[in-house]
Chains A and B, each alone.
Chain A
Amino acid sequence: MRIAKEEVFGPVLAIIRADNVDKALSIQQSSLYGNAASVFTQSGGMARYISERASAGMIGVNIGVPVPREPFSFGGWNESKFGTCDITGKSSIEFWTKLKKTTVKWNPESQINWMS
């Protein structure tokens, strides 16, 4: 059903039934997107199982809007983001800069090697 797969961008929630955790995960994993996914449970083991397998860049455990706080970065997977790095936090440093690598011989007595 389209409504269960497409982004609505409005105050709408689709409720989908799943018999077990693996079926729930396969529903999540079949999405083209991969921004966020959350699990609500009191079981640390189940939270771990789902957060490891969910195909999304931002995971919530008992949190509905799992926006990472600084210095962690904001960014999804799959068709929720194109390009490497993330747009905020530590990962954004890589995007907004280019790295210069300088090699310096500062000791005239240094050994002769392939860099000489």
Chain B
Amino acid sequence: MKYAALNNYIDGKSINGEEKRTDVVSPIDGSVISTVPISGMDAINLAVVAAQKAFPTWSAKPIKERAQIFYKYKTLLEKNLNELAELIHEENGKTISESIAEIEKSIEVTEFACSLEQLAAGEVMEVSKGVECRAERFPVGVVACITPFNFPNMVPNWTIPNALVLGNCMILKPSELVPISANKIADLLKEAGLPDGVFNVVHGAKEVVEAICDHPGIQAVSFVGSTKVAKIVYTRSTSNLKRALTLGGAKNHLIVLPDANVGMTASNVAASMSGCAGQRCMAASAMVAVGSVDNIINQLVEESKKIIPGKNLGAVISKRELKIILPKQREMALKFFLMAGITKYPVRKMVFMLDRLLLIM
């Protein structure tokens, strides 16, 4: 294995208490690059205790002091950009340039978190003679974030810098398909000076997600993944009287009008459809062609020919995902809707890369 077997990261320590483990498989070549524990309620209990222990000291620090750690974290993301991107490429399968872009977005959201001391300031007003009202923000407490396979570094970083600078302590449950990036984030946060227990990583699957929804010591839950699971996590968390914010799937329509710039439209649509192998909730998956836009569709066909598996098209995450995508592509091919589509442009070939990736050209 290229990477050591992973453990949970709780209270600043690597905790290996799980008997159940699963392989971490690189979608690029199918090799096993690490193993990850499949935890349950016991690990969540430990992480909650650690986070609760860290919370009084962490939340009592002035926000400017908490933000200082994330200035350091941002420079560590920059310093380790290539290594972090290579790791995303290996565990998720997206291309190196897509992986670099992902880290760049992590850097941007961290920069934003460093500005929270300006944005999250309170308000004060004299509401009647001699009487003032004041509003101040306080952290929610111990929060948990459940993140998906498609952005192993960026989606965790959507929440980590903001939630922590605002004074919360966190348990991250990354996708068990891409767990290595999460432990790497923990290492960098520690190096940046984050106190132990403020950020914890608990690996696992369904059981650990249910434990997060149910544990009374967790006050807020965020989730990013499919709509089906987003509904379950939202319902279960809120029925346990937690705050919840859960992001699901998408079907993004690109409406193309006849006066659109041909080159810009075609290249944007092709990039949106194929970027991150279409495995992102911002991917264009339906183009609505209004009126006579065949010149744009023709150009789109030309653009689609430039999409080369392994070069500017990454791998689909796993065999399981491929099985889901494959019948749908077949269905589409048969029923004449497809990239480079309509009947005029029948499926010419399907390209498989190392059994995992496919593209209709």
Contacts and interface: CB of A to CB of B under 8 A. Distances in A.
A92 B127 CA distance: 28
Contact of A11 (B133, B167, B278, B289): B278
A83 to B, nearest CB: 4
B183 interface: no
A77 to B, nearest CB: 10
A50 B297 CA distance: 21
A19 to B, nearest CB: 7
Q: When A and B form their complex, which 3 residue pairs have the shortest distance between CB atoms, in order from nearest? A: A110-B130, A64-B272, A107-B130
Interface of A: 1-21, 23-25, 27-28, 31-43, 46, 50, 54, 56, 58, 60, 62-67, 69-71, 74-76, 79-90, 92-93, 95-107, 109-111, 113, 115
Contacts of B8: none
Given A13-B284, A62-B261, A101-B133, A113 B128 contact: yes
Nearest to A23: B290
13 contacts: A9-B325, A10-B328, A10-B329, A13-B287, A35-B281, A37-B254, A38-B254, A38-B255, A42-B260, A42-B261, A65-B275, A82-B248, A110-B131
Given A65-B272, A93-B116, A97-B120, A7 B138 contact: no
Contact of A101 (B135, B143, B268, B324): B135
Contacts of B269: 13, 40, 64
Nearest to A81: B247
A3 B325 CA distance: 10
A63 to B, nearest CB: 7
Contacts of B19: none
B110 to A, nearest CB: 9
Contacts of B271: 64-65
In this complex, which of B162, B325, B358 has the most chain A Cβ atoms within 10 angstroms of its Cβ? B162
A16 to B, nearest CB: 5
Nearest to A91: B245
Interface in B115-142: 115-116, 119-120, 127-140
Interface string B252-289: 11111101110011001101111101111111111111
B222 interface: yes
Contact of A16 (B275, B287, B296): B287
A14 B337 contact: yes
Contacts of A19: 290-291
Contacts of A70: 108-109, 111-112
A83 B273 contact: no
A87 B250 contact: no
B225 to A, nearest CB: 11
B108 A39 contact: no
Interface string B153-180: 0000011001100111000000000000
A92 B337 contact: no
Interface in B229-252: 230-231, 234, 243-252
Contact of A83 (B158, B246, B280, B341): B246
A93 B119 contact: yes
A99 to B, nearest CB: 6
B313 interface: yes
